[in-house]
């Protein structure tokens, strides 16, 4: 069970690396604009904000990888809880699908981490 939990934690980390790439590097590109439903003007105007958001997603990914590498239950729980809270907040303030794309995988990973302990 610990291996399965770590696979799910790694998957959540992978998602957040993807979010980093989308927000920091693809935000103003056609792919990023399509994914986030942005006009060229809005993407350009919000580029700095998106890059900041992407950086935070990178920190979440780094924390999850740290938890796996260190074998630290506490680190994994902390960063998964951060991802879940971010997913809930994003769903309430930006787009409901964030809860399912970000929060749900983290909640599954957290449940597996807790059960594997």
Residue 109 in this model has a pLDDT that exceeds 90:
yes
* Number of independent structural domains in the chain: 1
Per the listing, tokens 């994003």 go with: 90
> What is the C-alpha separation between 87 and 99, in angstroms, rounded?
5
**Confidence (pLDDT) at 1:** 86
Tens of pLDDT along 57-77?
A: 999 999 999 999 999 999 999
Supply the DSSP string of 42-87, one letter for each residue. HHHHTHHHHHHHHHHHHHHHHHHHHHHHHT-HHHHHHHHHHHHHHH
What's the pTM value of the predicted model, to 2 decimals?
0.94
Q: What is the domain range of residue 48?
A: 2-116
Q: Are 64 and 9 in contact (CB under 8 A)?
A: yes
Tell me the three state secondary structure of residue 46.
coil
Residue 7 in this model has a pLDDT that exceeds 90:
yes
């Amino acid at each position: 069970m610990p291996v399965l939990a770590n696979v799910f934690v790694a998957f959540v980390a992978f998602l957040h690396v993807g979010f980093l790439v989308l927000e920091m590097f693809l935000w103003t590109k056609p792919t990023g604009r399509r994914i986030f439903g942005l006009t060229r003007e809005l993407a350009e105007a919000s580029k700095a904000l998106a890059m900041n958001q992407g950086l935070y997603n990178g920190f979440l990914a780094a924390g999850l990888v740290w938890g796996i590498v260190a074998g630290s239950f506490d680190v994994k729980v902390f960063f998964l809880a951060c991802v879940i809270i971010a997913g809930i907040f994003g769903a309430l303030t930006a787009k409901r699908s964030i809860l399912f794309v970000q929060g749900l995988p983290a909640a599954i990973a957290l449940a597996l981490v807790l059960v594997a302990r």
